[in-house]
Each structure stands twice: as C-alpha cells, then as structure tokens.
Amino acid sequence: MASLKYHLLREVADIAFRDSSIWSEGTPIVTSFALSGRVPSLIVRRMVQNEVITVYPYEHELVVKYGEHEVFSEVLSVLMAKWVLKLRIFCYDRFFYRNFSLFFGNWENEDLEELSVDNADIDNWPNIFKTFPKLVSLHLAAFQFDDMLRDAPNELAGLEEIGITLNNGFEKKSLADTCLALCEHQSKLPSLEVVQLKGVEFQLHYNDYPIPSKVTPMPSVKHLKIAVMQYSFVDINLFITVMQKVFPSLETFELDVEAYDHYGLDFSNIKDFYKAFHSLCVGFDLKVNYREKPYYYDSIIDYYRDRLFPKSTVTKTDGKFTAKTCFPGITIIHEVINKNYAY
C-alpha cells in the first residue's frame, strides 16, 4: 500500500488539524492518527511540543487541554505527557499536592522546557524540580517566589526565563517587593536573561517603584517585559530610569498596558504620556503596547486622529483603531477598542 512521505503527510495533517477544536471534538481521530505509525506519531508529537498543554488535576481525574480544547482520551493524554515541552498547571485543590505522584507519576518529563504554575498554589517545589529537571522557563505567582527559591537546588543553572504574576486574583505583591526579592536571590539564577512581570498595577496613588539604592542590580537580565493591568498617569521617565538601574544590561524592554474603563488616561494625560517619549533616551529597544476600551469610542478616535497621531501610521478596522508611533529606539503601538466588539 502506498504511503505519503513525511513532508506530505505533515502538510496533510497541518491542514486537517488546522482547527484545533479537533483535539476535543475529534479526539479519537487524533489518537488513531498518532498510533497509526512512526511518521504520524512524530507529526502529532511536533504539534504537542509546539502548543501549551494545560492540566487541571481533580480528585478523581486529570483534565488535559490542547490549547483551549479538552482532550477526551486517556491514551492521547499519556502520549502528550511524554511529549509536552510547554506545560501549564491550573489548580488550587490541596488534594492534588498531597497526592502529587498519583497524578504526575506519568508526567515525569526530563525534556520539559516551560512550566507555568501562576494559577496553582505549589507547596512541594522539590517534587516539581525532580519531575521536570531541565526547565528553561518558569512562570509563577509572586507569593510563591520566595518558597520556590528556598526549596530549589543551590542553583537553577538552566533557568533562562522567569515570569512572576504580582496579582493573580487571589494574592498581591508590589512591584518593589518583587524586584527586591528577584535581585536578592540572583545567585540562584545565574543564567537568567528574561524577566516577565505580570499583573502590575499603576494607579495614581500606588506607584511602588523599586528604590535603586535598596536593590542589588541584576546584570544578567537582558530582556524585560512588564504587563500592566491597571494604569493611571505616572512619571514614565522615572519609571523606566528606575527599571534600567535595577536591570542595567537591558537590550529590550516591553511595556504592555491594558488601560480599560476608568483605568486609562484622560486626554491631557495621554498627551503628556507621548511627550515623555520625545525626550527619553535609553540604551535599549523599548516597545510600548497601550490598549484601551473607552466608553466613547467614536469621539476618542476622532480626537486621536486629528490631534495625537498626525504623523503616526494609523489603521482602522471594525471596532479597532491602531496607531504606530516611532521615536529613535522606541515604538508605541496604541490600540483603541470598541467595547461592542470582541477582541
């Protein structure tokens, strides 16, 4: 019987599985394909390795998702456990942590590179590092950070990226405290180059910058990304200068701002926000993504187009207005989103 060559079979599979919902609605099809031979199994393995696999441990079962789609096959779940490179654990159930090996005995994976537990309350970090010994990227909640480093081996030599969620909806930590803890423990993170700080709140009376004189600079970090969930006017020059002192070897800095509802800037402050970048001189590439969902979409984009972005590259689609403004070494992507559209 004739068989397709690997590249042709991969192309067919990419087309057939383009809609990732097939992993849920057509789980038997994916399972049968993966078990049909060496080449199909390699193709499914590649798909698993390219996707974030999420697990939800419950008392009597372990729910597994490929992307956003639940996998209804124990056989396929076991295969995914062996192949996954990017894993997210989503659980607050204390039963899971008392029975870690019961659920994760089949999930020992020395090839796992990325682990996200920022939506899980881990209290057994030695088991985590034993189960996944070659982690390159780790994402966790800020309140777990000290416990993780205390229970970690002397050095997490392979860890190149860490993501810390300051506000995960249950507990909060300030930006200043998080930066201080990160710098204090840098001896355990000798290879760390990428830091992501998520769930940061910038509000008018809550500008908790780290104080450079109290922080030991962390020169290993070359790439910094900060995701701001609530934003009101702050001194952007001061903030970026402070972060540059904390991380003096930065090559890229990305600031991702979600300024929704009343957490955005008013017209006068948005002008000052842009003026700050005119005079800002940094020794790294800076990118700012500023997204807002205002109450009065049409009037705001008319104002912006006429007064704020006359020299910017502007695009407008149904429900979204985007302006790209560039200064030397600085790019600002400003999105205004209509609340009546889903983005």
Whole-number pLDDT of residue 261: 57
Mean pLDDT is highest, among 71-75, 153-157, 330-334, for 330-334
* More reliable by pLDDT, 73 or 16: 73
Q: Residue 263 pLDDT > 60, yes or no?
A: no
Full DSSP string of 245-302: HHSTT-SEEEEEEEEEGGGS--HHHHHHHHHHHHS---SSEEEEEEEEE-S-HHHHHH
Lowest mean pLDDT among 120-134, 206-220, 237-251, 267-281: 267-281
* More reliable by pLDDT, 264 or 148: 148
Which tokens belong to 142?
């800020």
Q: How confident is the model at residue 105 (pLDDT cuts 50, 70, 90)?
A: low
User: Mean pLDDT across the stretch 205-226?
Assistant: 84
User: Mean pLDDT across the stretch 259-279?
Assistant: 70
Q: Residue 230 pLDDT > 90, yes or no?
A: no
Could you tell me what percent of the chain has a pLDDT over 90? 20
> What three-state secondary structure class fits 158?
coil
Mean pLDDT is highest, among 56-65, 99-108, 114-123, for 114-123
- The secondary element (H helix, E strand) that includes residue 313 is strand 313-317
Q: Residue 259 pLDDT > 50, yes or no?
A: yes
Lowest mean pLDDT among 89-103, 212-226, 281-295, 322-336: 89-103
User: Mean pLDDT across the stretch 30-58?
Assistant: 84
Residue ranges covered by each domain of the chain: 51-312
Name the region of 169 (left: φ>0; alpha: ψ -120 to 50; beta: rest).
left
Whole-number pLDDT of residue 103: 56
- C-alpha span between 145 and 185 (Å, rounded): 10
Whole-number pLDDT of residue 204: 46
CA distance readout (Å), 317 to 234, 321, 323, 335, 337: 30, 7, 12, 11, 10
CA distance readout (Å), 167 to 177, 200, 227, 298, 304: 13, 7, 11, 32, 31
- C-alpha span between 137 and 15 (Å, rounded): 30
Q: How confident is the model at residue 245 (pLDDT cuts 50, 70, 90)?
A: very high
DSSP 8-state code for residue 86: E
* More reliable by pLDDT, 230 or 81: 81
Whole-number pLDDT of residue 100: 56
- The secondary element (H helix, E strand) that includes residue 7 is helix 6-16
> What three-state secondary structure class fits 181?
helix
Q: How confident is the model at residue 1 (pLDDT cuts 50, 70, 90)?
A: very low
User: Mean pLDDT across the stretch 73-84?
Assistant: 84
Q: How confident is the model at residue 2 (pLDDT cuts 50, 70, 90)?
A: very low
Q: Residue 140 pLDDT > 70, yes or no?
A: yes
pTM of the model: 0.85
Whole-number pLDDT of residue 115: 92
Q: Which residues contact 114 (CB under 8 A, 6 or more apart)?
A: 52, 85, 86, 87, 135, 136, 137, 138, 139
pLDDT (tens digit, 9 = 90+) per residue, 308-343?
A: 787 789 888 888 889 999 988 999 999 988 877 655
